[in-house]
Chains A and B, each alone.
Chain A
Amino acid sequence: MRKIVAGLILGALLITFVAMILPLEFGSPRMSDMDDYFIRYGQEQTGNNNECTAIVFDYRGFDTIGESTVLFTAVIGVGIMFRRFFGGEEVEDE
């Protein structure tokens, strides 16, 4: 029973995904449109002379949040692997 419900939910998600993807035409809008927009309005809208930083930290900020979270998770993982070497006895009690 649970397998059938899980299959139905998975199928519904797949159909929704394909139905959302299919109406989009490949390659539209063209990449040069976005480039021209960033180069023309980037300095006035964000106040940055450096266009790379304006895109990474302002227009595409969610990407940078993901990058920071990935770095944080990687450091936490390394810390869990090396926990018994680091700090001695107070860590062993946990």
Chain B
Amino acid sequence: MSKLVRFAADILYPVVLIFGLYIVAHGHITPGGGFQGGAVIATGVALVIVAYGYREVTQWIGKGGLMAREVVGLLGFIGTALVAFIFGMPFFYNYLAGQGGLFGVPVTYGPNPGELNTGGTVPLMNFAVGIEVWGGLALVILYLLSGLVPHDDHEKEGS
């Protein structure tokens, strides 16, 4: 792509990244959550991939990093639910809510201003699912773009 598109992508990518991480981190207070925030971040990664082209992007975005994000997200999500067995609780029990400590400030019924340190295990699962969706959707775009490479060797410089 042209230099103007690359400049716009350089400016927009940190903004989209911060917005997606905001949606993931505030998933238990405001509308949003892990899947939505991860999809927003993956859209930003797709913008960078489209702006710079396949050959330049694969020099600093590798298959290994995105696949590692996906696997770490899925294992973190299941592991957070499995930790409940240590406390003698059933699978998916919310063992952190209302205990004080990490993510454990009690919440009363009714409208309240909203505290970031609440929610129990839900923020941890939000981060795990967000990282997994980030890696997975960006990896789909990268895989699909890799099928184009043998065909556009002759027009790589001209376009």
A and B touch in the complex (CB under 8 A): yes
Cα separation A47 to B106 with both chains bound (whole Å)? 6
Judge if B97 is at the interface, Cβ distance under 8 Å. Answer: yes
- A8 contacts B by Cβ under 8 Å: no
Q: How many A-B residue pairs have CB under 8 A?
A: 122
Set of chain B residues within 8 Å of A72, measured between Cβ atoms: 70, 74, 132, 136
Secondary structure type dominating chain B contacts:
loop
User: Given A52-B31, A71-B132, A44–B108 Cβ distance below 8 Å?
Assistant: yes
Interface centre among A57, A82, A86 (most CB of B within 10 A): A57
Interface residue? A78 (CB, 8 A): yes
Question: B143, A50: Cβ atoms under 8 Å?
Answer: no
Which residues of chain A are near B149, meaning CB under 8 Å? 85
Complex interface: chain B residues within 8 A of A41 (CB) = 109
Query: Contacts A47-B106, A49-B28, A62-B92 given: A86-B143 contact, CB under 8 Å?
Result: yes
A32 to B131 Cα, complex, angstroms = 35
Residues on B lying within 8 angstroms of A by beta carbon are: 27-35, 63, 70, 73-74, 77-78, 81, 91-92, 94, 97-98, 103-110, 112, 114, 118-122, 125-126, 129, 132-133, 136, 139-140, 142-144, 146-147, 149-150
